[in-house]
Amino acid sequence: MQRSSNPSSEGFYVCRVPPVYFDYNATTPLDPQVKADMLPMLDAVWGNPSSVHAIGRDARAALDEARYRLAGLWKCKPSEVVFTGGGTEANNLAVFGTARALKARGRHLVCSSVEHHAVLHAFQHLVRHEGFELTLLPVDAMGQVRVEDVAAAIRPDTVLVSVMAANNEVGTLQPVAEIGALCRERGVKFHTDAVQAFGKLPFADIHQFNADLVTVCAHKFHGPKGAGAVFIRSPLQPQPTQVGGGHENERRAGTENLAAIVGLVSAFGRWVLQPVFPSALLRAWTDRLAAAATAIPGVSLRGHPAARLPNTVAFTVAGTDSIALMAALDLEGICASSGSACSAGSLEPSHVLKAMGVAPAEANALVRLSLGRENTDAEVDRVIEVLPGVISRLRGTGA
């Protein structure tokens, strides 16, 4: 996005949105109906939910209502809902909190090699600093974990397995329900980072993942940034990763961001039960984009061709790199990504592609196009039109 040359009257710069936004896996625009639901929490209901006076009790009532409503949507107990400040914090709470709570039973952990860094780095921290052992599950060339590999990795001292529902970089779906059933049979806690799944895949209830812990992030389905949640199946009690107060039933210290929480619950109710991402239309568009990209010499599709998020297509481009590709597309007015937005600007090749067996040079030349409800046929046509020229110029073979 380009910043306006003139700041707003309040002193903040206003961003102009380029004509083509194909980065919905990074974030989505706040839905106007969700924003309208949030506004009273920024105006009329401004109290601290922990205060005992009338203004605080009004805020507490709104917070309790949000928790009960989300529990109803998830079909779980309200006590199994913990609100957080976003997806990263939710994943950290699930991983750190569970491993530390269960360390007396064992210090062996299992996760896939293609997890988001909010999960992967948490596990690596436990290994480096807290005496845990970690088994990284391999993936095949399409980025999928095999259930048999999970079964082989579980040991008598395994206390936690974590496999994401859908990969944020290449869109590959994982067999989480089967993995969760296996873990339950073995008496091992199972966590799934389902951040990319909500709003894009069918949702019945939170139990469809067969997981003890499920993490959610509002801004991936047209809710606000700074709002996340964890489903924690009772009676599991992870240790808090934030201390200093008894908030969230003593599982997450810190005054609750009521407006963001209401936005999360509003967005979930409006845009997850009936997925806001139009699956059939988006799959048709991403199939077209995949065909156009792979028609260019040296371009290779990455991720599973069928078992993937319908809005996501990822490919690598031999003879160039991600930073140059993103800059060239941006100059054409196209917002794309080179993988996780949380690792933007990194000079390191994608850890997801490396785990899939892609050579480092190509793993550092990833393009991810992730589409959403505001996109159009004309925008897809535009990307298909300019992509060959962009790649040719970067390779020095075109004008």
**Domain locations along the chain:** 2-22+277-394, 32-271
Q: What angle do CA 179, 195, 137 make, to 5 degrees?
A: 35
Residue in this structure with the two tokens 């928790």, named with its chain if needed? 67
Tell me what pLDDT residue 5 has: 41
CA dihedral of residues 280, 16, 346, 328 (deg, nearest 10): 80
Query: What tens digit of pLDDT does each residue of 150-163 get?
Result: 999 999 999 999 99
pTM: 0.93
CATH code of 2-22+277-394, in short, is 3.90.1150.10
Whole-number percent of the chain with pLDDT over 70: 92
Query: For residues 284 and 123, is the Cβ–Cβ distance under 8 A?
Result: no
Nearest to 232 by CA among 253, 214, 248, 247: 214
* DSSP 8-class letter at 14: E
Q: What are the percentages of helix, strand and coil residues in the chain, rounded to 5?
A: 40, 15, 40
CATH 3.40.640.10 fits 32-271, yes or no: yes
In the chain, how many H helices and how many E strands? 13, 14
d(CA 381, CA 313): 15
Start-to-end CA distance of the chain, whole Å, equals 25
Tell me what pLDDT residue 6 has: 47
**Active-site residues: which are they?**
342
Query: What tens digit of pLDDT does each residue of 294-313 get?
Result: 999 999 999 999 999 999 99
Of 34-48, 96-110, 235-249, 256-270, least confident by mean pLDDT is: 235-249
pLDDT band, residue 346 (cuts 50/70/90): low
Nearest to 230 by CA among 71, 361, 32, 354: 71
Type of residue numbered 305: P
Tell me the pLDDT of the chain averaged across its residues: 92
